[in-house]
Amino acid sequence: MVHLKPRAERHTEKGHPWVLGSQIARVDGTPATGDPVDVVSAAGAFLGRGLYHERSLIRVRLLTRQPDVDLDELLATRIRDAFAMRRATFPDSEHWRAVNGEADGIPGTVIDRYGDVLVFSTICAGIERRKDALLDLLQEIDSPRSLVQRDDNWLRAKDGLPEVRAVVRGEDPGPVTLEEKSVRFTIDVLGGPKTGFFLDQRFHRLAVRRFARGRRVLDLFSSDGGFGLHAAAGGALSAELVDVSEPALERARANASASGLADRIAYRAADLLDELPKWADERNGEFDLIVLDPPAFAKSRRHVDSATRAYQLLNINALRLLPPGGILATSSCSAALDETTWEKMLRYAIRKAECRVRLLYRGCQPPDHPVLPEMPETQYLKFRVIQKLAD
């Protein structure tokens, strides 16, 4: 049993599913990582039941507020429910996030479905300990051709876990093909970004496509080319894709060719934090639509200030680069940077760029990436489309 310090239960009583080591007064017995434990307040009131992690800053990942619950049975039920919800929500798609961590009650774990290939990743040692049972369950409920573990995440070290990138059940999946409204993407689930692709931006790619007709597009941090290719498919006059990664640009080239869009796409390798301020002066007015989808600069709360400065730099110069009437689609996937802070950053960037804008579109995570209101960390994706106005 885990006993909290006086008043430390307030965080837990509000519904947040993490118990930090700094909140704990003492632990009865010697539970090992992954063992079920009960958590009680300093006064002895039952608060919840979860998985213990002796080496982690997140000492207990709570799964239920009910006592005497078999946690393994609970986890299996939640995974079944998560798959059922996606099938009902996306009946016309084979590609979705099947499990989204704490928001589906499976701590620190995501499972992405690319047709008959499932890719899972976990930073939770308690789930890793149950990996064989998890794989058995996934084979039972979805019969995948391949099960891939994609765990090249530095956060695993915090739970004492090694990095893993391997096919763990079934055959080597090889390239996986995904199509979004005529745009074809070839996904490398072992070598591509994250679990192979950015499923969370797929609604936003379609939103950008709506604004692209007749425009010259600059897709910054383009990765596999998702935004730029959709813009071209939506009638853009041209699209320039920019990323620091040559392998990402090679994947984008292949996707453009497969989609019949290669004639309107150009590619450039560049470090945008260095180059974009120069382009704001040298290439002013060259583009009518800019997509700004940078990586998660804020890996933790201690990086928020530096991340905010980076987002400011990028958004200021993207706005400077646009002519009046130009459109900026801007995004952040930094969970540690909350929406209020990011909105404040964007307003600051607009002032520093000395322009006026209007909001055309406001986006967040799709429904297969649900959010727990009591856990702000689960709401990570921010997306806005704004138009620069004439003075």
Integer Cα distance of 206 and 191 in angstroms? 25
Closest CA to 287 of 236, 243, 252: 236
Strands annotated E in the chain: 2-4, 18-20, 24-27, 36-40, 46-52, 58-64, 95-100, 109-114, 117-122, 146-151, 164-170, 176-180, 183-187, 216-220, 238-243, 265-269, 289-292, 327-332, 356-363, 382-389
The alpha carbon dihedral of 291, 297, 299, 305 has a sign of negative
DSSP SS3 for 5? coil
Q: Name residues whose C-beta falls within 8 Å of residue 347's C-beta, 6 or more positions apart in sequence.
A: none
Residue 281 half-sphere exposure toward CB, CA atoms < 13 A: 3
Q: Name residues whose C-beta falls within 8 Å of residue 89's C-beta, 6 or more positions apart in sequence.
A: 96, 367, 368
Catalytically annotated residues: 333
The alpha carbon dihedral of 17, 108, 299, 218 has a sign of negative
Closest CA to 51 of 75, 39, 34: 34
Residue 347 DSSP symbol = H
Integer Cα distance of 325 and 323 in angstroms? 6
Q: Please, are residues 225 and 206 in contact by the beta-carbon 8 Å criterion?
A: no
Give me the residue label for tokens 């470090």.
271
Burial of 86 (0-12, 13-18, 19+ CB in 10 A): buried
